[in-house]
Amino acid sequence: MSSAVLTTDRIILDGTARTREEAIEEGARLLEAAGAVTADYAAAMHEREALTSTYMGSHLAIPHGTNEAKAAILASAMTVVRYAEPIDWAGNPVRVVACIAGKDGGHMAVLSSLALVFSDEAAVEQLLAAPDAASVLALLGDVNDAGE
């Protein structure tokens, strides 16, 4: 597995989920396929979502596991899945779901980096219109610096 938190193979521009639960599963499968988490992590992501919504505003949700799920995290990683149609996220429209697994607390800097991008309306529009995974990675590449 690459030491980069986000790589183009973990960016999907045409997600297939139609519900919040399906979107969490879609992101969790990518994290597991990357070797970043065990199969148990998806349940912890759903548990976190049940406790408090991970909707962040600006079409973004950032599902992640509970603190009790630390043992299920093998390496820090992030996935990004974009949806053509908004997903209802507890009453909020979400088009980008960034699932995060942070080894040794490494997710906080990644969350901060994402928050900066999504606080810029022009950057959000670029992300929603990006033609390929490499363009998305270029827009979000600072998360790799944050995750180190």
Give catalytic residue positions: 64
Spatial CA neighbour of 100 closest among 34, 18, 5, 7: 5
Spatial CA neighbour of 93 closest among 127, 58, 126: 58
Q: How many residues does the chain have?
A: 148
Looking at the DSSP bridge assignments, the partners of residue 93 are 88
134, 144, 146 from 63: Cα distances, Å? 22, 18, 18
State which amino acid sits at residue 36.
A
Looking at the DSSP bridge assignments, the partners of residue 101 are 77
